[in-house]
Structures are given as structure tokens and as C-alpha cells.
A and B are shown apart, each in its own frame.
Chain A
Amino acid sequence: MKRHLLWLMAALAVLIVFPFIFGPLQTNLMVRFAIEALFAVSLNLLLSFTGLLSFGHALYFGVGAYGAALILTHLEGIPLVLAVLLSGLAAALVGLLLSPLLVRVRATAFTMLTLAFGQLLYVLCSKFREVTGGEDGIMGWTTPPLRLPGVFSLDVTQPLYIYFFALGLSGLGILAMWYFTKTPMGSVMISIRDNQKRVDYLGYQVVLTKAVIFCLSGFFAGLAGAIYAVFNNLVSVGGVLHIMVSFQPLMAILVGGIGTFFGPILGSGLLLMLEEATQAYPELAQMISGLIFIAVVLFLPGGAISFGARLRGWWQKRAYLRKAREIAA
């Protein structure tokens, strides 16, 4: 426990000094990492902990992003944190509205239904130009400062402050989701993944639990979308509702490690690093990321987070074989 705490303190110290050591470009990269990690963990709640594969998680991300953009554009003077939280709540509300349909289906039907809803919102927002700006999106609103009256007022359009804002909110969001997995309801969630029928027979409210999970997952995905909107000062259908936006956290989960809580965070970081590394070869970037994805699925099915354990296992096996050979000799 003490060792974990030490690690956590060290990580926090690194994160705090990061923007002062690296330039604004790397700081912005960390903001993107914070957003994508939060988004991936929110999807992971459905995939790894409830056993539901969603192809339409961009729906919640998009609602959060558009929510923040519309609130900040039309409600002048609204506190920034309130705008972001309201956007997350809007996404949770969408989750609640869709839950009567989604809780009743599983497996392929669930995946297809989420895909359909995601695409439906994509098309609706593309066509509803008057509100969403269509393909052009919404941009150029004045972002209010992050303010605690009498204490501080920070301009979050500056890389340093958006960094702490995004990292703080994402960190709190991830912590809240981690805590949720440790609660009794979190245990029911995992049981649903393992055997939904048995959980039902035991008298637990499967439908209600699933609805809560949808809302929770939607809320945090929406929160990630809202931070994205504040960070980019721009929201467009292609950027927040495209089908690839749904696949992005899915890739992070698979690359990082499905079935684990922290795997998606690692996966988000790795994918971002890969994206940065291949920026100089834009023609090859997608091909390289595709090849890496295939390699991970084939040779490291537990994801990057399992790499250490795999390496340890390989090393132990090697040592055992060497010893066996020595005994035989």
C-alpha cells in the first residue's frame, strides 16, 4: 500500500512539473491524452466490466462536446465548470433515454444498436446546420475563465491552465469510475458481465443496474467531450461524432489491455505516441497503426499492460528450461 502511495505521489509530481519542463506543444499533447484516457475508461466500463461492446460511444462524447459548445456560445457568463458538468449530464440523459432499448439486448444486437444510434446522431447533426453548424461545426466562442471568486481566475485558453483543468477533471473522472468498480453495484456490474441470468435469478435488478451503468459511462464520455470542446474551441460532426471517434477508445482498450481498469489509459498513451511518431509519414501513419494493432491482437492479446507479466513468464520459463537442461545433463 505504502509503495503504491509512493508511486502515486511520484506520478503526481511528474504531472505537476510536466508543463514547466516541456513546451506548450507537449503540454497540449498531454491534454489530448487526458481527454482520450477518460473517454476510453468510460467505454471500458461497458466493455470490460459489463461485457457490452459498443460501436457508438461517440454519441455520448459528441453530446458532451456539442453541449459544451452550445452552452458556452449561448449562455454568456456561465461558470466553466458548470458548463462542463451540464454537458456531461446531457450525455448521461441521452444514456438514460436510450437505456429502455439498450438494456434489453446483448451481444451483436447491442453492438449494432449502439452503432445505429451513433450514426443517427451523426447524420442529424450534419443536417441540422442551423444549430450544429453541420460539417463546419461550432467554433470561436469565448471561453470563460476557470474562476473561484476571490481566490483565482485562470484563462483556460492558455496551454498551462487547460492542462491542469483537463488533467484534474479527467483524473477525478477516472478515480470516480475506479471507485465505482469497487462498490457493491460495481460488483453486480461485473457479475452481469460473467453471468447475467444468474445475477437475475439472485434477485438483483439487472435492468436498473445496466441503466445506471449507461448513464455513468455516458456522463464520463460526455465529460471527455466537453473538455475536448473547451480545449479545441471547436466542435464539428467529423471531429466528435464520426464512427472513427467510437473506434478510437476501442483501439485504446484493446491495445492497452481489455479486462483491466488501467489498460485503456496505457493504450490511449501508446496510441497518441504512435500518432506523434508517425506524423512525419502521414501517408504511412494509418498503415503503421493498423499493423501494430494486428500485432497486439495476435501476439499480446492481454494488451500492452500484460507485457510485463508476459516478459516475466517468458523469463521464468527460460530459467526453468535451463535448469531442467542442467539437471538432465
Chain B
Amino acid sequence: MKISKRLLLLGLIAAALVMASLGAHPALAAGAAAGFDPKAVSDMTGFDPTKYENPSGEVVKIGVLAPFSGDAASVGQLYWATSAWVAADINKRGGIMVDGKKKKIALIKGDTMGKPATTKQAVEKLCLQDKVDVLWGTSGSHLTAIIQAEAAKYNKLHLNSHSLSDNLMEGKSFTPYTFQYIWPTYSVGNTLAKYYASRKERKFYILDQDYVFGHELAESFKAGLKQYVPDAQIVGEDYHPLFNKDFAPYLTKVKASGAEVIFTGDWMPDSSNLIKQSRQMGINTPIAGIFLDDINALIAVGPEGSKGMVFASQMLINYQDGIQAKWHEAWKTWPAPYNTALYEWLGSTTGSYVESLYWLLDVMQRAGATAPDKVIKAWEGDEWLGLIGEKLTMRACDHRVVRDTYVTEFVSPNKWYQDCAYLDQLVTIPAEFVTLAPPKDSERCK
């Protein structure tokens, strides 16, 4: 076949036009392999979360929704240290290119106090008074449900960093403004059940917080066991109030039940108190959970008390260079309350907070905008490589992340801490075993 010069020229022009139009798409313009770039992290020497100050001028405002006071104030500190880190890093790089200019990041606290009514007030203040661009948080699915509803009401983007309930993104609860970064309870249940399929333990005692997340998590774990460990036994099941002060009555029942594993979804401060009180009572039954990375609690029970605990997470950092080295170096000068071992390295919880924010800001930069509709469009279906190089896919129809998950058994000695057992080898559970199917009742997912 003979190709004329004119045809060749036309073909070249057409190809150039196609390339140019593809290049105009923000996601493709930035290259196919979007993700966290450890080399791009600024020199963070001198960074101190207690001295973080918002930049002046035009900024991207992030409303940080967390319990900054009350029983779970320690969780608020985790949120603050990590969000301040990401904001300071991005600001040192000059900000992100959105709305036609480079904008730095400003953080505004919204104190939920861990209570529903206060959460609603905090969101209202962030949206109406502070006029934030994004809401980020929080811990507690019942509180996140409120944030979701309010975010949709005020047309604000909401990144759910740490509420796992399966229901949040289903049925009437779904709103296009919210993205659930964290893994859902279904994935937790299946991750741990799959892990225990290859182990000898068969007697489990479920001890969870008495709210939607605790109950859903228990159901997910039971369903997972039924599928992967059919001969497993649930020898007891209890639900305690959030921010419980005394675990003794529950632990006494655990002891009497002959359980080989305590399964819990408790988060700080409950997880920390459960760990400490169980060991103080002489109950050394291994605990399996997803928020067991309060290093201060692990150190309190020592290597013997923390050994054998099974820790599952959506993201576990098992390297000490890159961002870990920079975080660790900066941490050495941090004052109270950030000068404890809990902040020494990026753990599963802190690492996840950091990862979720880096992803959000990267998506905003690729969208080239802060407007919710543009960010939503850029994020739906987005593929991104996370802090450990893991592939994260934001499923377009229900805004949940498809990802591999990880399990580890705490051992001592380890490369992280001398005074307690901690992670060493990671077991990867592939996404195909732990991914929650898109909701059947959703028109968007059909």
C-alpha cells in the first residue's frame, strides 16, 4: 500500500492532536504511574507539630476533624502530627498547583470531642465560617456518617481517613463528596480470617466497641471465619462502651472462656487500655486487631506482653529509609506530647493518615482545581502508588479503595523497638480475597 506525503502529514497532525488532547487530561499529563514519591519529600529537619503555623495568602484549607479534647484526645494528636507533617512538607515544596496558581496548605482544627452533636457543630463551623475546601477525618463511623451528610449538604469534599463501617458508602449513606480511604470492616474480617486459616488457633473471643463499627467488624470476622476457617469457634462475644475505663469484667470472661485469641477492633484509647489491663491481670492471650500500634502501650507490657499479637492493617511500613528516616530524624526534637515512642516511626495508623493526605493533595494537583466536581472526576478510578509502593485504586462507583492488605505477628527482638515486640515479617493478603463487592443497590455500580 502506497502512502502519499499528504496522507502521512494528515496522519501526523491527527496523531499530534490526539496526543495533545490526551495530554490535556490532568491524570495523563502527570504520567501514568501517579503515586507517592519518597524523593520529593522535603528536608523536614526542624519540623515540629507543636509549632506548625498556617501560611498566609491564598491557601487550600483542610478541615481536620478529630477528637482534640475529651476521652480520645490522644487520637486528635495523631491526626494533628500527621496532617501538620504533610502540610509542612507540601508547603516547603511551594504548595500545589490548583486553580491556576500555586497554593499552600492550611489546616484548621475541628474538634469532634468524639461526640455526635459536637461533630455536627464542628463541621458546620468549618464549612460556614472557615470555608474549608476539604474535610479530613475522622475516627468513629457514627461520627463519619454525620460528616458525610454535612459535607454533601455544604458541597464539600470529604476524605474519610479512618472510619471503616461498610455501611458508610452504601444505600442512602453514599454521597459523591466522600471518599473512603480506609479499608472497610469486610476487608478486616476477611484479612484476619484468611490469615488464621494457615494457623493453629481455633478459639476466638470477640471484644469490640459497642457501636456500628464494632458490631459490623464482629460480623465480618465471623463471616470470614465461616469461609476460611470453618472449624473455628467463637467462644465469647462482648461489646463495651466507647472509651471504656475498666476492662476487668470482660477480661475475666475471656479467661474463663479458654479463648486462644482475643479479636478486637478497638482503637485508642480502648486498644491501649485493653492491652495493658489484660497483661496486668495476667491474661497473656494473644490479641488480634487493627489498632494495636500504640507503641507506648506495647512498651508498658514489655516484649513478653506484646509478643505474639497479630496486627492487621491496610498499610504497614517495613522500611526505615525514605520518609521513615526523615520522620524519625525530625521526631528526635519534638516536645511533649509528641516525644514518646508512639511517634518515633510512622506506624500503621500514622502512616495511613499521611498516605491519605498525600493522595488527596496529589489528586487535587492533577485535577488542577479545588472545586469538588473536578476533584471527584479526577479521583474516581484513580490508580496511585502508596507509601510502600502498594497499588491503590479508587473504585469509581462507590468511592472505596481496592488494595492488598497486610498481617504481621509482633516479635521480639525486632529492628524497631527494644522495649516491646513489633512487626518483622509481613504476610500480604491479595486484594481479590478482601475486597468488598460494590453495593448491589447502587445505580452507580450497575
Residues on A facing B (Cβ under 8 Å): 23-25, 28, 32, 126, 129, 134-137, 139-140, 232-234, 236, 238-239, 279, 282-283, 285-286
Contacts and interface: CB of A to CB of B under 8 A. Distances in A.
B115 A238 contact: yes
Contacts of A236: 116-117, 142
Interface stretch (B37-45, B120-128, B256-264, B313-321): B120-128
Interface size bucket, B side? 20 to 34
Given A137-B116, A232-B117, A279 B212 contact: no
Contacts of B121: 28, 32
Contacts of A134: 210-211
A142 to B, nearest CB: 10
Contact of A234 (B68, B69, B146, B241): B146
Contacts of B298: none
B397 interface: no
Interface string B39-78: 0000000000000000000000000000011000100100
A239 B212 CA distance: 16
B198 interface: no
B73 A283 contact: yes
Nearest to B112: A282
27 contacts: A23-B129, A25-B129, A28-B124, A129-B210, A135-B142, A135-B209, A135-B211, A135-B212, A135-B241, A136-B141, A136-B211, A137-B142, A139-B116, A139-B146, A232-B116, A232-B120, A233-B149, A236-B116, A236-B142, A238-B116, A239-B115, A279-B125, A282-B68, A282-B111, A283-B69, A283-B73, A286-B69
Given A234-B146, A283-B68, A239 B129 contact: no
Contacts of B120: 232, 234
A25 B111 contact: no
A24 B125 CA distance: 10
A24 B115 contact: no
B115 A25 contact: no
Contacts of A283: 68-69, 73
| Most A C-beta atoms less than 10 A away, residue of B109, B113, B116 | B116
Contacts of B124: 24-25, 28
Nearest to A284: B69
B172 interface: yes
A23 B115 contact: no
Contacts of A129: 210, 215
B363 interface: no
A25 B125 contact: yes
Contact of B111 (A136, A139, A234, A279): A279
A108 to B, nearest CB: 25
B128 A24 contact: yes
B267 to A, nearest CB: 14
Contact of A135 (B69, B111, B145, B242): B242
Interface string B66-94: 00110001001000000000000000000
Given A139-B145, A282-B69, A234 B210 contact: no
Contact of B117 (A23, A126, A136, A234): A234
B375 to A, nearest CB: 24
Interface in B100-147: 109, 111, 113, 115-117, 120-121, 124-125, 128-129, 141-142, 145-146
Contacts of B215: 129
Contacts of B209: 135
B69 A239 contact: no
Nearest to B172: A140
Contacts of B116: 137, 139, 232, 234, 236, 238-239
A282 B128 contact: no
A23 B142 CA distance: 28
Nearest to B242: A135
Nearest to B122: A279
Given A234-B146, A282-B113, 9 more contacts: A135-B241, A135-B242, A136-B145, A136-B212, A139-B149, A140-B149, A232-B116, A238-B115, A238-B116
Nearest to A23: B128
Nearest to B130: A25
Contact of B142 (A136, A232, A233, A279): A136
Contacts of A24: 124, 128
Contacts of B129: 23, 25
| Most B C-beta atoms less than 10 A away, residue of A129, A135, A140, A236 | A135
Nearest to A286: B69
Contacts of A239: 115-117
A32 B125 CA distance: 14
Nearest to B129: A25
A283 to B, nearest CB: 6
A282 B211 contact: no
A169 B145 CA distance: 29
The 8 closest A-B pairs by CB, nearest first: A135-B211, A282-B111, A136-B142, A282-B69, A282-B68, A25-B128, A239-B117, A136-B212
Contacts of A23: 128-129
Interface string B255-288: 0000000000000000000000000000000000
Contacts of B210: 126, 129, 134-135
Nearest to A276: B125
Contact of B241 (A126, A137, A233, A286): A126
A241 B91 CA distance: 44
B239 to A, nearest CB: 9
A139 B125 CA distance: 20
A232 B68 CA distance: 22
B141 to A, nearest CB: 8
Contacts of B117: 232, 234, 236, 239
B151 to A, nearest CB: 14
Interface string B230-269: 0000000000011000000000000000000000000000
Nearest to A285: B69
Nearest to A136: B142
A279 B149 CA distance: 22
Interface in B165-220: 172-173, 209-212, 215
A155 to B, nearest CB: 13
